[in-house]
Amino acid sequence: METIQPNENITLAELQERVKYILDFKPNLEKLLDDDPQQAVKIATSLHKFINSEEKELSKARYDQLMLDNIYLFNYRAFVEEFNHFSGKITKNNLHSFIFEITSAHSSTELRVLFPTNDEIPF
């Protein structure tokens, strides 16, 4: 998925698709955690880079007003910012912590209302 390009026409459905993209990694990473930890680290590292790119773009000052005008975009930014609690290189030893961050970032009540779990997103 390409890095987000925030604009005034971005829709809730588009942002939900981005959340779904991130959340869809969790079951695969959990399975690979035991079966193929090296592959899990590669995938998690790729996801981490994507999330960091999203946050870097969304944090630009030129989008400040857009964030105030679009609650969905504002909350999506909060979702990706939650991943800042995980820093450093992903390894086999801290992979479980990274997987936990996926759940943690989504656990906010407000975020769960705007961005339901995969089973609740109508795709």
Amino acid at 80: V
Each residue's pLDDT tens digit in the chain (123 positions)? 999 999 999 998 999 899 889 989 999 999 999 899 999 999 999 999 999 999 999 999 999 999 999 988 998 998 888 877 777 899 999 999 888 888 777 776 466 656 665 554 444
Q: Are 119 and 18 in contact (CB under 8 A)?
A: no
Nearest CA to 94 among 46, 52, 44?
Answer: 44
